Structures are given as structure tokens and as C-alpha cells.
Amino acid sequence: MSFKADLHMHTTCSDGIYSPYELVKLCKQSGLTTIAITDHDSMDAFPDAIQYGKEFGVEVIPGVELSAMVEDKDVHILGYFLDYTNQRLQEYLEFFRIERIKRAERIVAKLNTINVPITFDAVMERAGKGSVGRPHIASALVDKGFIRSYHEAFEKFIGNGGPAFEKKFHLSPEEAIKLISSSGGLSFLAHPGRYTPDEAVNRLIKSGMDGIEVIHPSHTPAHTAHYRGIVGEYYLLESGGSDFHGGKKNDDDVLGSYYIEDEKVA
């Protein structure tokens, strides 16, 4: 049987629309053999997701996606094979989630001052038990008819630097890498092609990052070749995935389309 690993995806534990059970089932149907569930600031999908993987015959790697910033750019760090029972790690994740709630409140307040009468409750209803993020705010704005599309929310209001943008608490990328390694995990720079300058990539390599997400829907073939080159040059590991959240345009084609074929990570 061929090996097909998608190492980046989200569930209802953060901003994905499928529960861990539904996601594992969909992955099986898409022909994936190995997946990493990488919710933002949450590992609440585990250990259940691993059990679902056993039921469906999919290897499920415990992962997480942490948020860092370099200057004003978001830098996301993926962690794989973490010990999700590590108390210090869980305390950090809980702290990040509480900070996300406070930041959602600040964004709602800003929206209200610019005559967008969305309520905090509507946002939290969208987030459910998952760690709340801007995607929930965007979806709530669409639900309530304040805008026509999810992307419009980012363009008009909540994108970085937008009129209702608020930073959330974030670690430095070095701290994120340290938190992951001290929890027994491997750290990877997520989707660097989106907004990570090469100087920042080099800084992270120096601070002990294990690998780079080379394959990602936002990457052009030139990005993939570029980051694969860096991985080879510095003896790093390569990862790749779909960053599947479900429910977005063309999402049905995404699962099973972005993957790595040999056992570079798993």
C-alpha cells in the first residue's frame, strides 16, 4: 500500500468544521494513510483522534499549530509527535486559548465602533468548544449578513492591519520551537511561502527548528523548490499538508491532494 501523509489539518477543536471523528473518516475516504491533526493552540483532539485512526486504519500523529510573530508578520510553527499529556504544554495551550477569547472580545468591540453590530456571543457560538480565531469571526459576520463572503471579512475588517484587527498573544518563534521540543515534539515552520522572509527562516534554523512545511496549498512550484533546497542544504526534515479546515471554496478537493509520499517525517 502506498504511503500518503497529509500533515496539516484542523478540526472543531480550533477553526475546522469537522469533528476529529469526521475528519479522520474523511481522510480515510480520501486515501490518506497518515495524518497530523494540527489545531491552533489545542491538542484536545487527542487521544481520541488516535483511537479513531485505529478504527479507520489511518495513522494519526498528535500535532499542534502555534502562532508567533516576526515584526508584523504571522509565523506559524507546527509541532508533531508531541506529548499531549505534558502538563506544562497543556497549561500553555490553555493560556493561549484564554488570550484568544480576550482578543476576540477586543475585535468585536472594534467592529462595534465601526458600526458592525456583531455580538461576542455570536462569535463564541461559532467557535463552540474550539480555540476561537478570526475565521470564527469571519463566519459569524457572514451568518449575520454583515458581509457577503468570508474573505471580505479579512479584506474589509479583520485582516492584519485592518480597522478591526487586534494582535493576539504570541510567542517568539524561538519560544514556540522551545515549547515544542521540551514537550518531545518536532517543530516545523508552517507555510513559509505566505509571509516568512528568508532571514526569518535562517534565524529559526539557527534556533533548532527541525524542518519546513514545503508542500502547502499557498505555495507555488517555485516556493516548493526553494524550501526543498533549504531543507536539503541544512539537513532539515520536510513536511507537507493541505491545511484543511473544511467548508471553504474548493475544500472538497483539498484532502488527499497535498501530501508527502515517503516516510520523511512519520
Residues at the interface with ligand AMP (CB under 6 A):
40, 67, 133-135, 151, 154, 159, 168
DSSP string, 113-159: HTT----HHHHHHHHTTSPP-HHHHHHHHHHTTSSS-HHHHIIIIIS
Is 100 one of the binding residues for Fe ion (CB under 5 A)?
no
- When the beta carbons of 46 and 154 are compared against ligand AMP, the nearer one is 154
Spatial contact of 160 and 175, defined as CB atoms under 8 Å apart: no
CB of 179 to ligand AMP, least distance (A): 17
Note the residue count of the chain: 266
Over its C-alpha atoms, the chain yields an Rg (Å, rounded) of 18
- When the beta carbons of 18 and 154 are compared against ligand AMP, the nearer one is 154
- CA 116, 41, 255, 155 dihedral sign is positive
Torsion region of 167: left, alpha or beta (phi above 0 gives left; psi -120 to 50 gives alpha): beta
67 interface partner picked from Zn ion, ligand AMP, Fe ion, none, CB below 5 to 8 A per type: ligand AMP
Write out the three cell numbers for 233: 542544504
Residue numbers 192-251 binding Fe ion by CB under 5 A: none
- When the beta carbons of 23 and 118 are compared against Zn ion, the nearer one is 23
CB of 117 to Fe ion, least distance (A): 26
Select from 70-78, 82-90, 93-101, 119-127 the region that touches Fe ion (CB under 5 A).
70-78
Site for Fe ion, rule CB under 5 A? 15, 76, 190
